[in-house]
Amino acid sequence: MKTPMKRNGFTLIELLIVTSLIGLLAAFAIPKLSNTRERAQLAAMKTDLRNLVTVEEIFLADSLKYATDLGSRYTVSAGDLMPTIALTADGWTASITSTNTTQTCSVFVGSTSIPPAIKEGAPVCEP
What residues does each domain of the chain span? 13-126
Pairing verdict, β 124-126 and 92-97? unpaired
**Per-residue model confidence (pLDDT) at position 85:** 93
Distance, first Cα to last Cα, the chain: 75
Strand partners, 125: 105
pTM of the model as a whole: 0.69
Per-residue pLDDT tens, the chain, 127 aa: give them. 666 667 778 899 999 999 999 999 999 888 888 788 888 999 999 999 999 999 999 999 999 889 888 888 899 998 899 999 999 888 888 999 999 888 899 998 887 555 554 555 667 776 6
